[in-house]
């Protein structure tokens, strides 16, 4: 099991390990625990937590009993039941899912926003119905007080689907001249992310022009206040460099993620340029701006209420930092483009740790349980990523393991100790009995007639061949 030690904290990488060869049958996979020490020491907390190509979203049900993830290829969703540590069901989709929301306490009511402009609704028995929106949606939020499904679209409108009445309400408009800008094909106000406060049901939408627009469901269709985040992060860091180029004429100040804290007083906002602005809702100036320093979009931000930390993620890493000042003393050194800046370890914005994975992250959650469904007391992080296997990390500095996998508190330390005792001893791998050969080497060996048979296993730009057969040839 891989263990990361950063900034005085320990991170257990539960999913990092050798991939099982695709040609292994069920019996061979079961026997790996007897023959391969790497597989014997790995921790697989949820079985079949993977997709054929990649995954893009993962969420936990409000009751904490189920986890649903979407991925490709072919487009599908998978539901996992925590009490059984495995997959409950799998459903294929007609098109790729962009976002989805739980409409009830469990997996019984799901709404999926797909890239063909359809919103698809699923019930316990499967696909229930679907509705099409006028333009392509980018995210989806659910306002439980009014039973409204909110979809920010590329043209700037926020479509409202009333699930109680089964019809569309008047869309929310980002500004007074919205209709004029639509006729002029001006989509600079397009919403890219949305968040609904769990406390006061305030709806906020992050837009391409660097503004967060707020709506109250008791008011009209126009926003009652705007927050200019783009100007607050305009002088920060690496993403402002002329060397950094964003596709489709995108700008570094475009907003890509939003999150409220459980109290509804604080808000974290991520930008395309890799900055996260922390706000008190009572002020238009940020409390702190955190740079990821990679120039990559921040796709997920969330507050961890139990430890007063903020978790923010781009494709490279998950950064864990302080949302409030603490009494911890010490000095951390954070590199900026102007040189090294000393930041007190307990100060607001100081880094607690960084989590790096084997593949690019696309989304993450902090997994909880039935007593803590929001994960505010949990230290287990599950990540969707651009690789078949979803990545999972256990970070004790955040909190304990959820009740459904409480064994992590003890087993991780035991496996780490066994890895240290093993030292540099040679560990056999499942690939040691196979030799990788390129297509040119296959022709040189004169075994081209074996291509397509079990004797030559196709892999990337070559083949795996049994070592014994290779030596005989």
CB of 326 within 8 A of CB of 19? no
User: Residue 108 and residue 126: Cα distance in Å, rounded?
Assistant: 9
Q: What is the pLDDT of residue 252?
A: 81
Please confirm whether the linkage preceding 333 is cis (ω < 30° from 0).
no
Q: What is the pLDDT of residue 429?
A: 53
- Domains by residue range for the chain, with CATH: 1-127+360-431 (2.40.10.480), 434-472 (no CATH)
pLDDT exceeds 80 at position 20:
no
CB atoms within 10 A of CB 428: 11
**Strand 203-207's sheet: what is its strand order?**
191-196, 203-207, 211-215, 225-228
Reported as type and span, the H/E element at residue 38 is: helix 37-40
- Mean pLDDT for 61-65 is 94
Name the pTM for this structure: 0.81
CB atoms within 10 A of CB 84: 11
Three-state DSSP at 37 gives helix
Give the pLDDT band (50/70/90) at residue 337. very low
The number of helices, as runs of H, and strands, as runs of E, in the chain is 7, 34
- Mean pLDDT for 176-198 is 69
CB of 238 within 8 A of CB of 251? no
pLDDT exceeds 90 at position 330:
no
User: Residue 214 and residue 211: Cα distance in Å, rounded?
Assistant: 10
CB of 55 within 8 A of CB of 385? yes
CA atoms within 13 Å, Cβ hemisphere of 64 = 17
Three-state DSSP at 345 gives coil
User: Residue 245 and residue 197: Cα distance in Å, rounded?
Assistant: 33
Q: What is the pLDDT of residue 224?
A: 83
Looking at 223-265, which runs of residues are DSSP E strands?
A: 225-228, 255-260
Q: What is the 3-state secondary structure (H, E, C) of 263-319?
A: CCCEEEEEECCCEEEEEECCCCCCCEEEECCCCCCCCEEEEECCCCEEEEECCCEEE
pLDDT digits (tens, 9 = 90+) for 287-325: 999 999 888 999 999 999 988 999 999 999 999 999 887
CB atoms within 10 A of CB 48: 12
Partnered with residue 455 across adjacent β-strands are: none
CB of 360 within 8 A of CB of 384? no
Percent of the chain with pLDDT over 70: 80
CB of 153 within 8 A of CB of 135? yes
User: Residue 327 and residue 322: Cα distance in Å, rounded?
Assistant: 12
pLDDT digits (tens, 9 = 90+) for 253-267: 889 999 999 988 999
Instruction: Give the number of residues written for the chain.
Output: 473
C-alpha 372: how far from its chain's center?
20
Average pLDDT, the chain: 83
DSSP 360: -
- Mean pLDDT for 101-105 is 94
Write the CB contacts of 429 (distance below 8 Å, at least 6 apart in sequence).
18, 36, 38
């Amino acid at each position: 099991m891989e263990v990361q030690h950063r900034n005085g904290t320990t991170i257990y990488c539960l999913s990092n390990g050798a991939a099982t060869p695709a040609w292994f049958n069920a019996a061979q996979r079961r026997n790996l625990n007897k023959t391969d020490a790497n597989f014997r020491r790995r921790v697989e907390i949820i079985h079949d937590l993977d997709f054929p190509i990649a995954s893009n979203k993962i969420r936990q049900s409000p009751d904490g009993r189920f986890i649903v993830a979407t991925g490709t290829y072919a487009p599908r969703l998978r539901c996992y039941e925590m009490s059984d540590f495995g997959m409950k069901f799998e459903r294929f989709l007609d098109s790729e899912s962009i976002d989805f929301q739980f409409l009830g306490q469990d997996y019984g009511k799901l709404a999926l926003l797909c890239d063909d402009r359809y919103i698809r609704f699923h019930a316990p028995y499967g696909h229930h119905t679907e509705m099409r929106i006028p333009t392509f949606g980018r995210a989806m939020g659910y306002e439980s007080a009014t039973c409204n499904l909110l979809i920010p679209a590329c043209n700037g409108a926020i479509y409202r689907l009333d699930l109680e009445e089964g019809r569309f309400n008047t869309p929310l408009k980002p500004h007074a001249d919205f209709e004029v800008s639509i006729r002029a094909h001006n989509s600079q106000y397009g919403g890219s992310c949305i968040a609904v406060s769990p406390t006061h049901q305030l709806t906020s939408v992050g837009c391409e022009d660097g503004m967060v627009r707020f709506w109250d469901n008791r008011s009209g269709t126009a926003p009652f206040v705007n927050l200019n985040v783009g100007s607050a992060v305009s002088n920060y860091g690496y993403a402002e460099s002329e060397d950094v180029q964003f596709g489709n004429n995108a700008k570094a100040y475009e907003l890509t993620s939003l999150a409220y804290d459980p109290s509804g007083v604080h808000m974290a906002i991520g930008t395309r340029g890799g900055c996260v602005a922390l706000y008190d809702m009572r002020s238009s100036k940020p409390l702190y701006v955190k740079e990821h320093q990679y120039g990559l979009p921040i796709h997920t931000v969330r507050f961890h209420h139990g430890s007063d930390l903020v978790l923010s993620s781009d494709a490279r890493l998950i950064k864990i930092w302080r949302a409030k000042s603490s009494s911890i003393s010490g000095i951390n050194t954070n590199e900026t483009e102007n040189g090294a800046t000393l930041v007190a370890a307990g100060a607001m914005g100081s880094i607690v740790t960084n989590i790096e994975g084997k593949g690019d992250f696309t989304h993450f959650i902090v997994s909880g349980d039935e007593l803590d469904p929001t994960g505010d007391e949990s230290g287990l992080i599950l990540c969707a990523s651009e690789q078949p296997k979803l990545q999972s990390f256990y970070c004790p500095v955040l909190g304990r393991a959820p009740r459904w996998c409480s064994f992590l508190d003890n087993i991780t330390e035991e496996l780490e100790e066994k890895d240290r005792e093993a030292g540099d001893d040679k560990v056999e791998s499942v690939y040691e009995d196979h030799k990788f050969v390129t297509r040119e080497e296959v022709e040189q060996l004169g075994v081209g007639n074996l291509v397509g048979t079990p004797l030559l296993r196709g892999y990337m730009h070559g083949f795996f061949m049994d070592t014994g057969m290779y030596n005989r040839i």
